[in-house]
Amino acid sequence: MPKITGAKVIVTCPGRNFVTLKIETADGVHGIGDATLNGRELSVVSYLNDHVIPCLIGRDAHQIEDIWQFLYRGAYWRRGPVTMSAIAAVDTALWDIKAKIAGLPLYQLLGGASRTGVMVYGHANGSTVDETIAEALRYQAMGYKAIRLQSGVPGLPSTYGVSKDKLFYEPADAALPTENVWSSAKYLPTVPKLFEAAREALGWDIHLLHDAHHRLTPIEAARLGKDLEPYRPFWIEDVTPAENQASFRLIRQHTTTPLAVGEVFNSIWDAKQLIDEQLIDYIRTTIVHAGGISHLRRIAHLAEINNVRTGFHGATDLSPACMGAALHFDLWVPNFGIQEYMRHTPETDEVFPHAYTFADGYLHPGEAPGHGVDIDEDLAARYPYRPASLPVNRLEDGSMYNW
Ligand code: EZ4
Ligand code: CO
């Protein structure tokens, strides 16, 4: 058996913070897994170092399911983003090791390729509609088949999704949370105008997406969905917070615009009612935040029998190790929908050498054994951790709100 002889946590900040778990076996094979939880990185580091790594040493790296169950059931305290990100890192690293030992790219172990490439969506944003459309045209020229559109809201000093650097959006912009201001009344009329202009400029042979980032009430979300129907969005995302899964019934009654939810979910239980009742169309859980490949596979299967497709989160805070693993999953999973793809900085790409490639709107995980992503530890050590928090939101009268 490939005995686990060592495991270490590597923290690096090549432009933003990443936490990576590296597991080593007696035969000299190693695997890596992403453990980054944006704004809460060091909590996962501590969970791994204090509670997980000591339990891994001496185990058989091939027993992925048993180790998963040990870490999940064995903690007694179930679920939660810190726990599930730590478990995900172990699970991803073990799948990487198993596939390397088999000499196969990970997608082959999952069941083989179901498609030739993974359709991804890029992010066009700007402070005005014109600026956003100009960006979207650039993405279309790069070959993207799907583009997310986010635009500034007149009267609000800043808006979710509108970045300074056009290729890399980084919301965790300060050591302590930046305070933003929100108004749904100001925001709601702007989105149909953005989509109308986008259809005019980009045509109909391209998928358009939008993220409301948890800011609407269910009835406001229903209205947004209705208002966007003429422009046939691929989806609207996180229109309302999803702790109360039943609240999506109300949105569903009113609009045929497809709904995507789940980037903050960490367990199948967060999505069970949404999927069982077919209240959403796309599930956005990721490998790193939802317990790794082993748990995401359960979510995907539940989704499949309910006509829900995958549309995994893929912002810059998901490291190349998560992206690589996700792409193998995407190439295999029968009910694939789309994959979010926000490019990493060149420094990040250097720290994480990877086999995946982009061409003509599709990513491919490559044919390297494992998930195809590694970490250059010497280079990683040159970028020390920098505290960074996600922003918070207040309404115009000062009330705390959802970011
Ligand atoms: O705010 O990844 O769809 N993408 C998003 C992201 C999230 C960040 C949080 O860490 O909503 O921009
Ligand atoms: Co989102």
pTM equals: 0.98
Q: Band of the pLDDT at 149, cuts 50, 70, 90?
A: very high
CB neighbours of residue 378 within 10 Å: 8
Write down the H helix ranges in 51-206.
53-56, 64-73, 81-102, 106-110, 129-141, 184-187, 190-202
Query: Is residue 326 pLDDT above 80, yes or no?
Result: yes
Whether the CB of 339 sits within 6 Å of ligand 1: no
CB neighbours of residue 74 within 10 Å: 10
Distance between Cα 125 and ligand 2 center (Å): 14
pLDDT digits (tens, 9 = 90+) for 126-139: 999 999 999 999 99
Whether the CB of 213 sits within 6 Å of ligand 1: yes
Q: Which amino acid is at 344?
A: H
pLDDT digits (tens, 9 = 90+) for 69-117: 999 999 999 999 999 999 999 999 999 999 999 999 999 999 999 999 9
Take residue 273 and report the two structure tokens written for it: 């009612």
Distance (Å, rounded) from C-alpha 152 to C-alpha 126? 6
What are the sequence ranges of the domains in the chain?
4-105, 110-367
Whether the CB of 263 sits within 6 Å of ligand 1: yes
| Ligand of minimum distance to the alpha carbon of 121 | 1
Distance (Å, rounded) from C-alpha 106 to C-alpha 84? 21
Helix (H) or strand (E) holding 117: none
Q: Which amino acid is at 301?
A: H
Helix (H) or strand (E) holding 347: helix 346-351
For residue 72, what are the β-bridge partners? none
**Phi, psi (degrees; rounded to nearest 5) at 31:** -140, 155
Distance (Å, rounded) from C-alpha 221 to C-alpha 236? 9
Q: Band of the pLDDT at 366, cuts 50, 70, 90?
A: very high
Nearest-CA residue for atom 12 of ligand 1: 315
Q: Band of the pLDDT at 159, cuts 50, 70, 90?
A: confident
pLDDT for the residue numbered 121: 98
Query: Is residue 308 pLDDT above 90, yes or no?
Result: yes
Fold (CATH) for 110-367: TIM Barrel (3.20.20)
Distance (Å, rounded) from C-alpha 208 to C-alpha 139? 12
Q: Which atom of ligand 1 is nearest to the CA of 284?
A: 3
pLDDT for the residue numbered 87: 98
Distance between Cα 211 and ligand 2 center (Å): 6
Just list the catalytic residues: 160, 213
Instruction: Give the chain's mean pLDDT.
Output: 97
pLDDT for the residue numbered 170: 85
For residue 11, what are the β-bridge partners? 19
Q: Band of the pLDDT at 27, cuts 50, 70, 90?
A: very high
Distance (Å, rounded) from C-alpha 359 to C-alpha 379? 27
CB 237 within 8 A of CB 208: no
For 4-105, CATH gives: 3.30.390.10
- Percent of the chain at pLDDT above 70? 100
Distance between Cα 57 and ligand 1 center (Å): 34
Nearest-CA residue for atom 10 of ligand 1: 38
Report the sign of the C-alpha dihedral through residues 129, 135, 139, 142, in that order.
Answer: positive
DSSP symbols for 290-344:
TTHHHHHHHHHHHHHHTT-EEEE---TTS-HHHHHHHHHHHHH-TTEEEEE--PP
pLDDT for the residue numbered 169: 81
Distance (Å, rounded) from C-alpha 375 to C-alpha 179? 34
344-358 mean pLDDT = 97
Take residue 278 and report the two structure tokens written for it: 């077919």
Distance (Å, rounded) from C-alpha 338 to C-alpha 237? 13
Q: Band of the pLDDT at 154, cuts 50, 70, 90?
A: very high
- For ligand 1, pick from 213, 390, 392 the residue to mutate: most ligand atoms within 8 Å of CB: 213
Query: Is residue 152 pLDDT above 90, yes or no?
Result: yes
Nearest-CA residue for atom 6 of ligand 1: 315
Helix (H) or strand (E) holding 45: helix 41-47
| Cα Rg, the chain, nearest whole Å | 20
pLDDT for the residue numbered 103: 98
Whether the CB of 36 sits within 6 Å of ligand 1: no
CB 242 within 8 A of CB 274: yes
- For ligand 1, pick from 37, 149, 238, 263 the residue to mutate: most ligand atoms within 8 Å of CB: 263
pLDDT for the residue numbered 361: 98
Pick the range with the lowest mean pLDDT from 163-167, 273-277, 299-303, 312-316: 163-167
Query: Is residue 168 pLDDT above 80, yes or no?
Result: no
Q: Band of the pLDDT at 301, cuts 50, 70, 90?
A: very high
pLDDT digits (tens, 9 = 90+) for 49-73: 999 999 999 999 999 999 999 999 9
pLDDT for the residue numbered 283: 99
Take residue 303 and report the two structure tokens written for it: 């989704």
Distance (Å, rounded) from C-alpha 288 to C-alpha 347? 21
Query: Is residue 165 pLDDT above 80, yes or no?
Result: no
Residue of 303, 360, 359 whose CA lies nearest to 329: 303
Whether the CB of 284 sits within 6 Å of ligand 1: no
pLDDT for the residue numbered 16: 97
pLDDT digits (tens, 9 = 90+) for 201-258: 999 999 999 999 999 999 999 999 999 999 999 999 999 999 999 999 999 999 999 9
Q: What is the dihedral of CA 196, 340, 288, 225, to 10 degrees?
A: 20
Distance between Cα 334 and ligand 2 center (Å): 23
pLDDT for the residue numbered 166: 74
132-159 mean pLDDT = 96
Nearest-CA residue for atom 4 of ligand 1: 315
Nearest-CA residue for atom 11 of ligand 1: 213
**Phi, psi (degrees; rounded to nearest 5) at 326:** -60, -40
- Percent of the chain at pLDDT above 90? 97
